[in-house]
């Protein structure tokens, strides 16, 4: 039994590439709603109840797009009402809502990506092609949790020393500036130490060998083939111009067609593949436990 996290990193990386790229460049409300739904399903599958922590940000992004875009963008033929002599149009509201859905979906996909694609997996993918790029990516992903932990430590240390109190706004601002200064110094110092350590160990001298624990299995190959097939159908629908909306000057959805219908269905299948794999693995494990 293998969960989605245990699949070959190359296959998983291509999956994320295939599901994120269309949602970043195709302004289609149907496609983006499917993307957001798949991203939410994967996010809560990976995190459970803890996935609700910080999830409020994404509805706020959607509402912000719905409200802010019509206030600053007055293009569109359908005027809903006039505010301070500025028309608020249905097209601008729809575009802002679609943009908010797109941003929320992409952010959720990338959050799941960072949970699944650890530094060792990125080194495995990019190490043979570009070791320096792989090293930079792995270091960036490593420093994000380290930075958070160090901020918490510094903040708690300053509170213990009595340098500021949370109820005092001025002291809180001064403490925040002190923490920022400490973190900049800490990051620069750690960067220099890491560089010196790598130089001392002979990094970059001669040709490097590569070792990885990841292997291709039959399930990885099937997953990769299904992913490529789904992405191929989505590309076919996009190239046939069967997916996408025209927002200005008037909202015009793409005419219903076989390529468009197939593109939506196949993209939905692609988006829920990780959830299907994870749920299947959990059911199998529960079935085995019940037989003990």
DSSP string, 63-124: HHHHHHHHHH----S-EEEEETTEEEEHHHHHHHHHHHHHHHHHHHHHHHHHHHS-HHHHHH
Residue 166's φ and ψ, nearest 5 degrees, are -65, -30
Q: What was the pLDDT predicted at 209?
A: 65
CA dist., res. 94 & res. 107, Å (int) = 20
Taking CB atoms within 8 Å and a gap of at least 24, the contacts of 11-15 are 11/220, 11/223, 11/224, 11/227, 12/116, 12/117, 12/121, 13/117, 13/121, 13/125, 14/224, 14/227, 14/228, 15/223, 15/227, 15/270, 15/273, 15/274
Q: Nearest-CA neighbor of 140 among 164, 114, 161?
A: 114
pTM over 0.85, yes/no: no
Radius of gyration of the chain (CA): 24
CA 35 to chain centre: 11
Q: What was the pLDDT predicted at 200?
A: 80
Write down the domain spans for the chain.
4-123+220-290, 130-200
Q: What was the pLDDT predicted at 1?
A: 56
Using the structure block, give the residue that is written with the tokens 């403490």. Answer: 175
C-beta separation of 286 from 11 below 8 A: no
CA dist., res. 47 & res. 153, Å (int) = 25
Q: Give the contacts of 237 (CB within 8 A, at least 6 positions apart).
A: 243, 259, 260, 262, 263, 264, 266
Q: Which ranges of the chain have pLDDT less than 50?
A: none
Q: What was the pLDDT predicted at 54?
A: 63
Q: What was the pLDDT predicted at 266?
A: 94
Q: Nearest-CA neighbor of 161 among 146, 147, 173, 171?
A: 171
């Amino acid at each position: 039994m293998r969960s989605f996290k245990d699949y070959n990193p190359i296959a998983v990386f291509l999956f994320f590439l295939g599901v994120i790229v269309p949602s970043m460049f195709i302004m289609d409300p149907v496609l983006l709603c499917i993307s957001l739904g798949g991203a939410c399903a994967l996010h809560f599958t990976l995190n459970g109840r803890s996935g609700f922590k910080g999830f409020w940000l994404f509805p706020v992004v959607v509402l912000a797009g719905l409200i802010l875009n019509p206030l600053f963008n007055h293009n569109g033929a359908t005027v809903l009402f006039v505010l301070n002599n500025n028309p608020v149009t249905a097209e601008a509201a729809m575009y802002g809502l679609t943009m908010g859905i797109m941003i929320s979906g992409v952010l959720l996909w990338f959050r799941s990506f960072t949970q699944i694609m650890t530094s060792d997996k990125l080194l495995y993918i990019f190490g043979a092609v570009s070791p320096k790029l792989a090293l930079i990516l792995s270091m960036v992903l490593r420093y994000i949790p380290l930075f958070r932990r160090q901020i918490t430590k510094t903040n708690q240390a300053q509170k213990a020393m009595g340098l500021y109190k949370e109820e005092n706004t001025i002291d809180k601002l001064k403490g925040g500036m002190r923490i920022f200064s400490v973190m900049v110094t800490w990051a620069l110092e750690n960067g220099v130490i890491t560089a010196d350590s790598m130089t001392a160990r002979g990094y970059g001298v001669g040709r490097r060998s590569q070792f990885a624990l990841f292997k291709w299995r039959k399930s990885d190959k099937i997953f990769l083939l299904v992913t490529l097939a789904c992405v191929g159908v989505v590309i076919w629908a996009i190239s046939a111009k069967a997916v996408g909306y025209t927002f200005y000057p008037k909202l015009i959805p793409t005419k219903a067609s076989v390529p468009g219908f197939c593109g939506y269905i196949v993209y939905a299948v692609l988006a829920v593949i990780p959830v299907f794999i994870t749920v299947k693995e959990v059911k199998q494990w529960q079935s085995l436990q019940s037989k003990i």
